[in-house]
Structure 1
Amino acid sequence: MTSTAPPDTITRVVAIAEQRSRRRRLRPRRLLLGLAGVITILAIWELVSRTGTVDPTYLPPATEVLARFGVNATLTGFWIAIGQTVASWALGMLLAFALAVPLGIVIGLSPFLRKLTRSTVEFLRPIPSVGLIPLAVLMLGVPLQQSLLIITYGAFWQIFMQVLYGVADVDTVAMSTARSYGFTWWQRVRDVVFPTMLPYLVTGVRLAAAVALILAVTAELVIGTPGLGQQIAASRDAGLYASTYALVLATGALGVVINLGVRAAERRLLSWHQSVRGEGA
């Protein structure tokens, strides 16, 4: 015995299939457009420098900077600096995650704690992490610890606030049902809160990853923690402007790699979620 799907269902399935096919065809186009944008910016940069619109001493031509970037890629010290920056970034992210997730869940699930901490959160959250550099230097003697304080503080709020939003989005009926069935607090968090909170948490991690990288390089520039930022400052002070711009480009490339990695993890973790399915369609 066979069943026939309703015509409207067939029409809907065909429309979804055509939409997915159209999106697949558009992917190379988006890639080409992005590449065209980069080439246009480099061409304008080259023109502005070569024509003397901006003093080429302080803004070397793009071709010169790219050539220096290629030379840097062959140097061991360059890759060591990248490793040091990534290590600071990863440690700061790990600390921020370990602090923000449990605190966000505990505070988010308790109306009393939400009211108790609201004023404190609204006071501390707007404080720029860079403003903590003098405090970090005074409190901590090791440059890496100083950097970690700044990175962790900035990344913490990105994750913490998203966790609070995720917990607030939990269905109260589902929580009441789980409680009536005798679920423990941990079981309610694991089976009800966490699935709802996960998309928010991943968004917070993605935002925190970008902020943490900016703060890691900033700390290296200002404090002198070993890494790309320290090399940028050293090249600038030595008047090696082409090398300085090449290192800045390396920082941007590192940010792109981190963003791509976080987005790949997001698609993997949230493959069941509507937003990711729609994006991948």
Structure 2
Amino acid sequence: MRLTVHRALESQIVCGAIGVAGLLCIAEAAGRSGLISTVQFPLASTVLANAAELATDAEFLADVGATFLGWALGLLVTVLVAVPAGLVLGSVPAIERALRPLIEFLRPIPSVALIPLAGFIFSDRLDMKIAMIVYASTWPILINTIYGLRDVDPLAKETLRTFGFGHLSVLWRVSLPSAAPFIATGIRVSATIALILAISTELIGGGSDGIGTFIILAESSPDGLTLTIAATVWAGVLGLLTNAAFVWGERRIFHWHSTRVGAAQ
């Protein structure tokens, strides 16, 4: 079963790579044939060449480091807040029912729309970035934790209670391990959201460093359009690599859960 999962994953990677390569070839051909204007849309080869140059540009790498610093701190704070909150809400239905209206009110609010408001509240741009990441990234972890606790086998919990284990012991020994794969999935989704919010906050909220700031400054350079697209490409690549790293970690740590899900399907 694990071999089948690995082969499916490899097949997805190969198909994805072929699709991206095909899209780049089409974009390159359209630009060179004059179907699209290279003034408005630079050639794919030009963008990739600039992206390759950015990979060795010390200033851009420093901006990438600044973005990932805010991303890591924001995601860490999110996990420390959302997981315990989800455990409480998932373990005490009365509290979950009382707070559900507030959660459903706050969750749909577009996080990007709150960045200007956060600019008035936080004078430090790193604090603002972390705050926006925490707000936007909390919901996937919180909801997944709640639903993960609901998926716990009630017979396993009742068995431990029969042997005299208290509520916290049952939570620690049965509920949390069972919900862990759901929590990990929530963290993976939140990691991508956190990266989006980190860059969006730099773009809208300003600051002195970060990928978003680099994109803003690139717009005023002679090769502004090409540099902007190249930096945006790197933002997408970093998001893809981040998600892939979390997927790999999930499969390594919770391989038993992947096997069980695959067998059920």
- Give TM-score scaled by structure 2 length: 0.91
Cα distance in 2 for residues equivalent to 1:26 and 1:97: 30
Cα distance in 1 for residues equivalent to 2:90 and 2:197: 27
| 3-state SS, counterpart of residue 133 of structure 2 | helix
Structure showing greater radius of gyration is 1
Cα shift at 1:94: 0.6
Q: CA distance change for structure 1 residues 27 and 212 in 2, over 3 Å: closer, same or farther?
A: closer
Structure 2 spans left out of the alignment, 5+ residues: none
Partner of 1:224: 206
1:1-281 aligned within 5 A = 20=3, 30-225=12-207, 226-238=209-221, 240-275=224-259, 278=262
Cα distance in 1 for residues equivalent to 2:203 and 2:11: 38
| 3-state SS, counterpart of residue 272 of structure 1 | helix
Query: In angstroms, what is the RMSD of aligned CA positions?
Result: 2.2
Cα shift at 1:30: 4.4
Mapped contact 2:218–2:227 kept (Cα < 8 A): yes
Q: CA distance change for structure 1 residues 56 and 100 in 2, over 3 Å: closer, same or farther?
A: same
Cα distance in 2 for residues equivalent to 1:111 and 1:27: 38
Q: CA distance change for structure 1 residues 276 and 92 in 2, over 3 Å: closer, same or farther?
A: farther
Query: In terms of mean alpha carbon deviation, does 270-279 or 184-193 score higher?
Result: 270-279
Opposite residue 256 of structure 1, the aligned amino acid is L
Cα shift at 1:138: 1.1
Cα shift at 1:24: 6.4
Cα distance in 1 for residues equivalent to 2:17 and 2:126: 37
Mapped contact 2:116–2:205 kept (Cα < 8 A): no
Mapped contact 2:116–2:204 kept (Cα < 8 A): no
Aligned residues: 261
Cα distance in 1 for residues equivalent to 2:182 and 2:163: 27
Opposite residue 26 of structure 2, the aligned amino acid is I
- Give TM-score scaled by structure 1 length: 0.86
Cα shift at 1:242: 1.1
Cα distance in 2 for residues equivalent to 1:272 and 1:156: 26
Cα distance in 2 for residues equivalent to 1:28 and 1:63: 27
Cα distance in 2 for residues equivalent to 1:24 and 1:117: 41
Cα shift at 1:129: 0.9
Cα shift at 1:28: 5.7
Partner of 1:13: none
Percent sequence identity over aligned pairs: 35
Cα shift at 1:277: 8.1
Mapped contact 1:270–1:276 kept (Cα < 8 A): no
Mapped contact 2:218–2:228 kept (Cα < 8 A): yes
Mapped contact 1:267–1:276 kept (Cα < 8 A): no
Cα shift at 1:61: 0.3
Cα shift at 1:253: 1.1
Query: In terms of mean alpha carbon deviation, does 200-209 or 174-183 score higher?
Result: 174-183
Mapped contact 1:271–1:277 kept (Cα < 8 A): no
Cα distance in 2 for residues equivalent to 1:217 and 1:57: 26
